[in-house]
Amino acid sequence: DAKTTQPPSMDCAEGRAANLPCNHSTISGNEYVYWYRQIHSQGPQYIIHGLKNNETNEMASLIITEDRKSSTLILPHATLRDTAVYYCIVRVGTGGSYIPTFGRGTSLIVHP
Amino acid sequence: ETGVTQTPRHLVMGMTNKKSLKCEQHLGHNAMYWYKQSAKKPLELMFVYNFKEQTENNSVPSRFSPECPNSSHLFLHLHTLQPEDSALYLCASSQDGQGARNEKLFFGSGTQLSVL
């Protein structure tokens, strides 16, 4: 199973870019990298996903290294509401099904 | 609003009670999931249903009994729980849990369960 490694915590000043790293050195060629975030006591929220190319949507940007062994989630202008736990996961295949497995994630604190 | 609704939002129950958690999704998805999140721990997958059939049971104790009557509804029946079962129980859905590598999960807000 491809596993991910994230720093347990980070902080960022409001209005600045938040860059959250993730290592996934055992990722397979056909596995996607997903990012979710979880605000306290709520369900995780999908942010973005990618396979090889960099991706951008209204919430964030995802930069994946050429060897696909790591990625970075970028929140370009962090706000206080971005304070949450951010999870980087790889869709893990078991048999014919693909089960998302969540680790401990990175607790991001955005301060004024 | 994610399109996945969980009820109740909070539940307190004794160890001898029987209760049920309900999840409903309005997204037309075919796969539904139960996750458990204990305090300060990662989410733990409990069950997966795909097209109403259970496809994953992650060694969950029998005091947790899932039911999926149709693709839009998922229940978790609880009986004779222990205090250590107190946790946030999250339901999620995705378009199709089998073989689709680029699916997004949509989560409900969860049920915060306290077992006394």
For the segment A57-67, what is each residue's pLDDT rounded down to a tens digit? 999 999 999 99
Contact B107 A43 (CB under 8 A): yes
**Hey, are the CB atoms on A46 and B105 less than 8 Å from each other?**
yes
Of residues B102 and B91, more confidence is placed in B91
Instruction: Give the Å distances, CA to CA, from A32 to A18, A28, A39, A77.
Output: 22, 9, 23, 25
Residue A38, pLDDT score:
95
List, for residues A1-26, the tens digit of each pLDDT value. 558 999 999 999 999 999 999 999 98
Q: Which residues of B touch A49 (CB under 8 A)?
A: 102, 104
CA-nearest residue to B91 within chain A is A43
Which residues are CB-neighbours of A58 under 8 A, at least 6 positions away? none
State residue A97's pLDDT score.
60
